[in-house]
Structure formats: C-alpha cells, structure tokens
Amino acid sequence: MYRSLSVRQKQIVWAWAFLAIPVVFYAVIRFYPTFNAMVISFQDWNLLGDRAWAGWKNYDKLWNDPVFWKVFKNTFVYLLIGTPVSLVVSFAIAYHLDKLRFMHGFLRMLYFLPFMTSAVAMAWVWRWFYQPVPIGLFNNFLAATGIPQIEFLRSTSFALPAILAPAVWAGLGFQVIIFMAGLRAIPRSYYEAARIDGVSNWTVLFEITIPLLKPTIVFIVVFSSIGFLRIFDHVFNMTTGDPGGPLNSTKPLVLMIYQSAFTDFNMGYAAAQTVVLFLILLIVSLVQLRILRDR
Amino acid sequence: MYGIRFKSATVAIGTVLALAAGTAKAEVEIEYWQYFFDARVSAMEQLIENFEAANPDIKVTMTHFPYADYRTKVAAAIPAGEGPDVVQLFYGWLNDYVAANLIQPLPNDAFPPDMIGEEFFPMVGAMRDGDNYWALPTAVRSLALFYNKRLFEEAGIDGPPKTLDELVETAKKLTKTDAAGNITQVGITAGMNAQDHHWFREVLVRQFGGDPYQDDYKTVNYNSDAGVMAAEFYVGLANEHKVTAFGFMDEPQAAFKAGRAGMHIDGSFRIGSLNKTRGLSWGVTELPMNADGMKSNYSSYWVNAITTKAEGEKYDAAVKFMQYVTSDEAMQIWLDVVGELPAKPSVGLTEANANDDVFGPFIRGLAYANTTKFANESAQRQILIDMVQRIDLEGQSAADSIAAAAEAEQKLLDEYYN
C-alpha cells in the first residue's frame, strides 16, 4: 500500500511518523495529566480510596477560603514586585556589561553563576543569612553596630521581600544573558548615525536601544512573570518550619497547592487551585503578549 | 535499598541452591513496608532476622520509602494487589486506611482484644473498633524535658525544675543577652512548629484546669479560661519573662544541640540524635507539673497492620509476623536500637527500663499520657502556630487568638468527620 503512494504522500507519511513522537509525548505527558487534573478538581479524593463526584464544591470552598485570597494576593505581589525589579536590574547590568571590555567574560560568568546554582541550596544559605542573633549573618552585623535586629523571616511585612530578593537574584543571570544577546543584535549603524547627529546618550537609550529591544523585553517579561507566578522552591525551603511564613505572609499559590495535596491529602481541592493557577497564567501571558506587541 | 536487594539476592540464590539439592520446604514470602528512618530500618532488619530464624518457612522482605512518598506508594500498590502484606502507619492515619479498605482487622484468636486491652498501654485502645483491633504498635513515644547539664552547672542550678513556676525561674537564670539586648542563649526553647503544640494541647491546657477536646477529640474545648491562661503562659515565656525567643536559631532542637538552650521539650525519638552530638552533656527529666502537682504528657505511636492484599498462606504468615513484632522481645530490641518506648507496661515498666536515666522519664510519662486523635496533624499544628503568631506579631489578645484558633480547628474537625 505504501508503494502505491506518490512521493508527496510518502513525504507526508514520513513527516507524520517523525511528528508522532512529540505528539504522543505531549498527549501522554502533558495533555492527559492536565485534563485529569481538571476532572479531579470536581471530585473528592484523599489519594487512598475511591474518587467521588463533588460538583463545584472545591471551587466554592476556594472562593470562601480567606487563606486562598491571602495567597492569591501574595502571588501577585511576587509578580508585581519581582518582574519589574528583575527587568530593570538585569537591563542595567546587561547595558553596562555590554560596554565593558575588561574581564567581560569573567563578570558575565559571575552574574550567571546563581542561575546555575540549585535553588534549594541557595534558599537554605539565605535562610541562614536572615536568622536572628546569634547565628544570622545580617543580624549579627546589625547587632555589632548597635542597630536593633530585624526579624526578616518571622515578620509579616519583611518576610515576603526577604524571600523575593534571592529569587530575583537567582534569575538575574539568565535575563542578563538574554538582554546582552538582544543588545548585540541591534545594528551598529544606528548608533553610528546617532553619534554623527550628536544625539545624547539618553536619547540613544530611549529612541534606539529600548525600542529595538522590544522582542527581548517581551520574552523576558512573559518568562519571568510565569516564573514569579509559580514561585515555590525559595519559599518552601526558607520557611519549612512554618510553611508559607508567619500567618501565611509569604505563601504563594503553588505552595498552597502542594500543602493541600501532600499534607492535607485533599487532591480535589489542590486540583481546583491548579486549574485557577492555570487560568491566571494563561490570562497574564495573553494580556502581556497583547500589550507589549501592538504598540 | 542496595543492602536489602543484595540480601534478597543472596537469599534467592540460596533458595535456588536448596531447591536444586531437593531439600527445601516450600517458602512463603511476605512483604513489609515502612518509611525510611535509619534506626527503624536497622531495628526492623534485626527483627526480621530473628523472626526468620524462628520460622524458617517464612521469608520477610522489607521495602522502605522516603516519608514524603510513603502514602502515595501504599495507596497505589495495595488496591493493585501489589505491595506490602504488613504495613506500618501512623496512628492518626488509621481512619483513612480503614475507609479506603487498605487494611483488615487482626484475627481475634491470635490477638484477643481483652488481653490486648490489659497488656498494652491504654492509649493503644484507639486502635480498637468494636470486637477487633485494626493495628498494633511495637513502640510508643512521649515527651520529656531535656536539659543541658553544662549550662546548669555554669548557672549554679542544682537540678532540673519540677513545676512550671520553677521552670520559669530556672529559665531566667539560663538566659543570656548581648549588649543590644538580643537573646544569645535561651533558657528554654519555644516553637509550636516543634513538639510544643503537643505540650500546649495535652499538657498545659490540662494543667491550667482545662480539657482540650471533648467528644472523642471531635469537639474543640480549649476556648476556655484554661486555654487562655495556657496561651498566656506559653507566649509569656518569650514576651513577659523573656527567657526564650520564637524562631531562635531556626529550630528549637538545633538551639539545644548547639548548646545555646538550657532546656528543651522533645520526644523520645530525639535521644538518638542527641547521643550523636559531640560535646553536648545533657540530661532528661519528666515534664514539669503544675502548682497542684498535676502531671500530663502526650504520646503518639506508629502501628503495624495486615493489609487486604494478604490472603491464604501469606495471611497466616503475616499474622505470625505481627505477633512477633508486637512481642516483648521485639519491643526491647526496638527500645535498644531506636530509642522508642515499649508499648506494653510489662516491658516498659521493668525495673531497669523505668529507672533508666534516659528512658525512665519518658516511660514514667506514659503512665499519665494522653493521645490526641488528629484529623490532620499538620493542619492542626498550623492552627496553633498561627495562634501564637497572632499574639506575638500582631498583638492580639490571648483570648481572641485562642477563640479564633478553636473556631478554625473545629471547622477542620467538622469537615473531616462529616
């Protein structure tokens, strides 16, 4: 039967034969679990025993759960502080690093290093930095200079920024590299023309560099937004004694999902939160792509 | 895992050789599952060795998993007809395991309920349902007050405190601060995230005249004067007497191990790791009583049960194995290897064990211990962590904070039981 096909048809058959691998992979590894999670979100299931249909119960519980709204807010605080801060800082570093020739490769490596480090190891080291006297690095320094110590992780107002700082730092290396690649891709001739016209550095930055970096910025904003909306390892490891910080002040949605599923064994409730997170990620990504692309 | 695989491989080769020689008797193989904790695994290896020596026709294979995966694996394996014939579970999980049809009741002839009721410590009664026991422990744990002998000597204190008032006074002498007023050594560790939530529930609330729960732990009852006084006492250790700081050195047990804490309340399972801490000279004593001399304690335990997968000759072998792991001999081995206390007074309260410097205080504590029936231990613990933090960080009154905690916990219990 294969022999009777035309060359064009044979090409199509082969194309599909090769495509079948990623298609099957996506169907089994991605779409099936996603679909299953949506089904579980309408069920009651404690991992042991049978699943029972629960209708909208899990979503109803979520709507009326004050912890969920607290966590919802935290998740957006991570996003709304984390993304702009990391964007500005990484651009500033990349912009200046790009102009620097002395030890360029070494410095770039230093900025990239945290990105390659395990988030768990990093979180535990920062957890130690933030401890109160007598062991914490920062507080020992404050105590030595006579300044009252700050309860970084045991404070309802400082805990979230304290956790966000190493998370921003960890992602910086990657963003710096992407920005530098973007900067290199801008044709030199624009800068030369600007110099001949005698334009100031600020004008060059705002009229040439940033507009031409738009695709890079779009990529980094979308990428880091998704990262901050899914923040988990830093929070989990820095607050294991009281997961999610004092009075849930640092708990992001992913940690709440984890706790519902694997400490409360309430799989239906966890799945409902997952569906909500999925919708948030979808909406945020679509909005960002729309806003940053057509203007 | 390698050790076990290697062992089963050698056993398998031995079996093959024996079969080839034509002398082997048919062997029944049963599987035992527990979560991974070094001392528990080596204790169980010893028990299995002794059991196999006494029952040459039964072979027991042990498998262990990291604690985090344990429940998932058990839940997936047993309904599929795979996995363990005898399984270890936390006492608080019993309801879930029974409801999911994962375990079967112990047979009455091999485990007569009345005899068990007499022989075991009373809290094991929670495993009984009507005429049957569902599961039985090898060992139980309770709380006691650890103290740092070197710091006591340095502060010129002759012995550990016996009452709550003495506890506060002793702790004051042990507390050190730096020039800026920051605590650098705590008199007593504090943290609801460690064992303190048990101390609060089952000990302090009772000692201040309350009864933490009613209706077989289905109704929260600490929203009372006693509960408020207990909360004021507990938070007062940090805020009023300034003999401790919450979150000091990250974890209470870390502070005690590092020699930065005079006293520390913890469970008998901590003995092993404290013994391994070099340069720490520690003692242990019963939890302090209240002014009227009332004592209380909290105990918990892990149990073993026969799964619904075990049938026929495997079931018979599993029953024999259960009988052995709940025997006096097994309990003594568990005490010596793991440091967890025997579940029967006949073993625990022997002259040697009850007067032991280290195990004695824990074993004596069992006599007046209570066992909380948790619906969701970590969620119920979180409620007490939050209760303390509302007082400590947000300045809420103890009465309001206790009321809010009781309401949250009652909601959780209602959801679980209905």
Same domain membership, residue B269 and residue B380 = yes
User: Do β-strands B341-342 and B136-148 pair in parallel, antiparallel, or remain unpaired?
Assistant: antiparallel
Q: How confident is the model at residue B398 (pLDDT cuts 50, 70, 90)?
A: very high
CA distance A157 to A161: 8
Name which residue leads in pLDDT, B61 or A50: B61
Pick A131's closest partner by Cβ from B75, B178, B250: B250
SS3 A42: coil
C-alpha distances (whole Å) from B73 to each of A58, A60, B66, B76, B314 are: 25, 30, 10, 5, 21
For B338-357, what is the mean pLDDT? 88
Residue A161 within a domain? yes
Q: Give the pLDDT band (50/70/90) at residue A273.
A: very high
CATH number at residue B359: 3.40.190.10
- A interface with B, Cβ–Cβ < 8 A, is 46-50, 127-128, 131-135, 139, 143, 146-149, 151, 153-156, 241-243, 246-247, 259, 262-265
pLDDT at residue B86 greater than cutoff 70: yes
Query: Testing the interface with A: which of B182, B193, B383 to mutate, by most A Cβ within 10 A?
Result: B182
Mean pLDDT, rounded, for A82-103: 93
B194 lies in the same domain as B77 = no
Tokens at residue A143, please? 């105590």
Residue listed under structure tokens 């399972």: B269
**Do B158 and B137 share a structural domain?**
no
Domain span including residue B64: 2-141+300-369
State the pLDDT confidence band at B68, using cuts at 50, 70 and 90. confident
B20: pLDDT confidence band, cut at 50, 70 and 90? very low
Mean pLDDT, chain A, rounded, equals 92
Q: Given an 8 Å threshold on Cβ–Cβ distance, is A48 in contact with B96?
A: yes
Strands (E), chain A: 43-46, 48-53
- In a shared domain, residues B211 and B275: yes
Give the bridge partners for A57, in sequence order: none
For residue A31, give how far its alpha carbon lies from the nearest alpha carbon of chain B (Å).
22
Of A47, A146, A246, the CB nearest to B75: A47
Same domain for A105 and A154? Answer: yes
Q: Are residues A15 and A97 in the same domain?
A: no
pLDDT number for residue B106: 94
Res B2: pLDDT: 45
Contact B389 A247 (CB under 8 A): yes
Q: Do B71 and A265 touch (CB under 8 A)?
A: yes
Does position A37 have pLDDT exceeding 80, yes or no?
A: yes
Of B72, B99, B245, the CB nearest to A49: B99
In a domain, A13, yes or no: yes
Interface test with B, best of A46, A47, A48 (most B CBs within 10 A): A48
Q: What is the mean pLDDT of residues B144-158?
A: 96
- Please report whether residue A51 resides in a domain: no
Q: Are residues A146 and A29 in the same domain?
A: no
Which among A49, A241, A246 is the nearest to B393, CB-wise? A246
pLDDT for the residue B122: 84
Pick from A47, A133, A259: CB nearest B72 = A47
From the list B96, B178, B249, the residue facing A131 with the nearest CB is B249
- For residues A9 and A90, state if they share a domain: no
User: What does the pLDDT read at residue A91?
Assistant: 96
Chain A residues in contact with B376 by the CB 8 A cut-off are 263-264
Q: Are residues B20 and B63 in the same domain?
A: yes
Residues B307 and B413 in one domain: no
A263 contacts B378? CB cut-off 8 A? yes
pLDDT higher than 80, residue A71: yes
A9, part of any domain: yes
Q: Residue B43: which pLDDT band, with cuts at 50, 70 and 90? A: very high
Q: Are residues B258 and B290 in the same domain?
A: yes
Of B168, B165, B171, B195, the residue nearest B185 (C-alpha): B171
- pLDDT above 50 for B364: yes
Q: Which two tokens stand for residue B384?
A: 């007490």
Task: Check whether residue B216 and residue B261 sit in a common domain.
Answer: yes
Residue A215 lies in a domain: yes
Report, as an integer, the average pLDDT of A249-258. 96
Band the pLDDT of B25: cuts 50, 70, 90: low
Percent share of chain A, pLDDT over 90: 76
Q: Are residues B276 and B310 in the same domain?
A: no
Among A173-177, B12-16, B93-97, name the most confident range: A173-177
Say whether both A34 and A163 belong to one domain.
no
Instruction: Tell me which chain A residues have a C-beta less than 8 angstroms from the C-beta of B378.
Output: 259, 263-264
B251–A49 C-beta distance less than 8 A? no
* Interchain proximity B101–A49, CB inside 8 Å: yes
Are B67 and B197 within one domain? Answer: no
Q: Give whole-number Cα distances, B190 to A242, B6, B99, in Å.
A: 13, 44, 37
Q: In chain B, how many domains are there?
A: 2
Q: If you measure CA to CA, which chain A residue comes closest to B394?
A: A156
pLDDT of residue B54: 94
Quick check: B10 pLDDT over 80?
Answer: no
CB < 8 Å to B179, chain A: 146
B1-15, B129-143, B290-304: least confidently modelled range: B1-15
B74 falls in which pLDDT band (50, 70, 90)?
confident
Q: Is the pLDDT of residue A294 over 70?
A: no
Domain that holds residue A14: 2-40
Q: Are residues B396 and B356 in the same domain?
A: no
Q: Give me the phi and psi of B364, to 5 degrees please.
A: -65, -35
- Quick one: pLDDT at residue B160? 96
pLDDT at B17 (0 to 100):
46
Average of per-residue pLDDT across A262-291: 91
- Assigned domain for A179 exists: yes
* Nearest Cβ partner for A156 among B75, B99, B393: B393
Q: B67 falls in which pLDDT band (50, 70, 90)?
A: confident
Residue of chain A with shortest Cα separation from B253: A241
Let me know whether A158 and A247 are in one domain. yes
Higher pLDDT, A196 or B349: A196
CB contact (8 A) between residue B102 and residue A48: yes
Q: What pLDDT is stored for residue A295 in this prediction?
A: 52
Shared domain for A24 and A123, answered yes or no, is no
Q: Tell me which of A198-207, B73-82, B239-248, B385-394 is least confident.
A: B73-82
Closest approach of B332 to chain A, Cα-based (Å): 32
Convert the pLDDT of each residue in B168-207 to its tens digit: 999 999 999 988 888 999 999 999 999 999 999 999 999 9
pLDDT score for B272: 80
Q: How confident is residue B18, by pLDDT bands cut at 50, 70 and 90?
A: very low
Q: How many CB pairs under 8 A join A and B?
A: 85
A156 with A280, same domain: the answer is: yes
Residue A146 has a pLDDT of 84
Q: Cβ B71–A47 below 8 Å, yes or no?
A: yes
Residue A211: asked if its preceding bond is cis (omega within 30°), the reply is no
Q: Which residues of A touch B390 (CB under 8 A)?
A: 247
Greatest mean pLDDT among A41-50, A211-220, B142-151, B308-317 lies in: B142-151
User: The domain spanning residue A113 has which CATH number?
Assistant: 1.10.3720.10
Q: Do residue A134 and residue B193 have CB atoms under 8 angstroms apart?
A: no
| Per-residue model confidence (pLDDT) at position B21 | 44
pLDDT tens digits along B194-252? 999 999 999 999 999 999 999 989 999 999 999 999 999 999 999 999 999 998 999 99
Across the interface, whether the CB atoms of B178 and A242 are under 8 A apart is answered no
Confidence band for A128, pLDDT divided at 50, 70 and 90: very high
Give residue B82's pLDDT: 85
A192 and A265 together in one domain: yes
What pLDDT, on a 0 to 100 scale, did the predictor assign at position B339? 82
pLDDT exceeds 70 at position B3: no
Work out how many domains chain A is built from and give that number.
2
Which residue in B has a C-alpha nearest to residue A152's C-alpha?
B247
Residues A8 and A84 in one domain: no
B295 and B399 belong to one structural domain: yes
Domain presence at residue A159: yes
Distance in Å, alpha carbon of A130 to nearest chain B alpha carbon: 10
- The DSSP element (H or E) to which A143 belongs, if any, is helix A137-144
- Residue whose entry in the numeric block shows the structure tokens 């007809």: B81
Residue B26: the pLDDT is: 62
Final residue in a domain of this structure, among B369, B386, B408: B369
Q: What is the ipTM of this complex?
A: 0.88
* Domain assignment of residue A54, yes or no: no
A76 and A35 in a common domain: no
Three-state secondary-structure class, residue A69: helix
Residue of B235, B383, B393 to mutate for A, most A C-beta atoms under 10 A: B393
Q: Are residues A228 and A268 in the same domain?
A: yes
Using CB atoms, which residue from A48, A134, A247 is nearest to B97? A48
Q: Which of B100, B182, B248 sits opposite A48 (nearest CB)?
A: B100
Tokens, residue B211: 């009864």
